[in-house]
Amino acid sequence: MEKQQLESIWNKCLNGDRKAQFALYQLFSKKMYAVCLRYAPDEQQAKDILQVGFIKVFRKGKHFENKGSLEGWIRRIMVHTAIENHRRNQMSSVESFDESHESLAGTMESTDNVQYKDLLALIQLLPLGYRTVFNMYVIDGYSHREIAEKLNISEGNSKSQLSRARQWLQEKLLKMEGKAS
């Protein structure tokens, strides 16, 4: 989509045009759903985060100052919405691993090299506390200090969660490589 078309849709969104809001949603919903899914414990919560996030986009649209991309601004709203959702539903930082998830991970198809989709699937299987910190640090680029502030945990807890997430992922990847050999 051309920049002018996107600007036109966005300006209409700012004026409350429902068709334009739907067009913007259609344009970005798949990418933003992927962001939400990285943080959510399941698909339904990811869909809920996506919906709440887009409501915020439309309500707070006047705060977008055209500095950077609109997509980047929307993405930040989705990440913040997911973090808020995590806070509300905060579980223990070290959850027990569900056996059904382990069997799902074991059935993933693998080749000589672990595919990108397989890695994303493994990240989705991380216990919620590990996954949240992993996503914020590795994928979204937050510092441990920022993660600690946003999740109301200590920096040490953030570092520990990241270390455990990496260790967990490494073990699962080694298992997958072993099965592929």
67-117 pLDDT per residue, tens: 889 999 999 999 999 988 887 776 433 343 333 344 334 434 434 344 667
In this predicted structure, what is the pLDDT of residue 156?
94
Contacts of 22 (CB under 8 A, 6+ apart): none
In this predicted structure, what is the pLDDT of residue 58?
94
Say how far apart CA 51 and CA 34 lie, in whole Å.
Answer: 13
Contacts of 37 (CB under 8 A, 6+ apart): 43, 46, 124
Amino acid at 78: M
Compute the C-alpha angle 173/99/159, nearest 5°: 55
- Nearest Cα to Cα of residue 85 among 127, 37, 121: 37
- Calculate Rg over the CA atoms of the chain: 18
Amino acid at 37: L
The token pair that represents 77 in the structure block: 């709203």
In this predicted structure, what is the pLDDT of residue 123?
85
Contacts of 150 (CB under 8 A, 6+ apart): 83, 136, 142
Mean pLDDT of the chain: 82
In this predicted structure, what is the pLDDT of residue 118?
73
What is the average pLDDT across 147-176? 89
In this predicted structure, what is the pLDDT of residue 176?
74
Q: In Å, how far are 18, 24, 26 from 12, measured between CA atoms? A: 8, 10, 15
With a pLDDT cut of 70, the percent of the chain lying above it is: 83
Kindly tell me if the per-residue pLDDT of 42 is higher than 90. no
pTM over 0.95: no
What is the average pLDDT across 136-157? 91
Say how far apart CA 24 and CA 20 lie, in whole Å.
Answer: 6
In this predicted structure, what is the pLDDT of residue 51?
95
In this predicted structure, what is the pLDDT of residue 90?
64
